[in-house]
């Protein structure tokens, strides 16, 4: 009985720590997306986490795009953005001090590392 109670407490504690960690994803993150022949696009992401729901926006020199269909599962998250009528699916992983996001834009694999901008 003691072992079962200990295991349950350990699992519950791990779950709470995981939720607290992913909640830290909320905030402003910045990075530079490298596109094609050495072109660089500075991007700022603002994430808002509410339970398993992820919302926010991405800002570039061309303007702002809202994040849609965002979901958080542990340290992994997904979301979509609409660029000129094309929906781009994004997958990400939260590492605490950085975030990695991968996407596929018309067959071109894109990868960006973000660092926290508001701390």
Record the pTM. 0.78
> Distance (Å, rounded) from C-alpha 106 to C-alpha 43?
19
CATH of the domain at 25: 2.40.128.120
Short-list 117, 95, 114, CA closest to 103: 114
* 25-66: pLDDT as tens digits: 999 999 999 887 888 999 999 999 999 999 999 999 999 999
pLDDT digits (tens, 9 = 90+) for 1-12: 554 544 344 344
Q: Which domain holds residue 50?
A: 2-116
Tokens of 56: 């926010």
Residue 4, SS3 per DSSP? helix
SS3 at position 74: coil
Domain count, the chain: 1
Q: pLDDT at residue 107 above 70?
A: yes
């Amino acid at each position: 009985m003691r072992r079962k109670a200990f295991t349950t407490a350990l699992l519950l504690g791990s779950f709470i720590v995981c939720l607290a960690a992913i909640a830290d994803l909320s905030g402003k993150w910045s990075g530079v997306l490298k596109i094609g022949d050495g072109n660089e696009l500075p991007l700022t992401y603002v994430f808002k986490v509410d339970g398993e729901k992820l919302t926010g926006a991405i800002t570039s020199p061309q303007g702002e795009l809202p994040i849609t269909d965002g979901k958080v599962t542990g340290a992994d998250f997904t979301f979509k953005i609409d660029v000129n009528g094309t929906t781009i699916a994004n997958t990400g992983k939260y590492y605490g001090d950085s975030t990695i996001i991968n996407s596929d834009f018309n067959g071109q694999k894109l990868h960006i590392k973000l660092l926290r901008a508001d701390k």
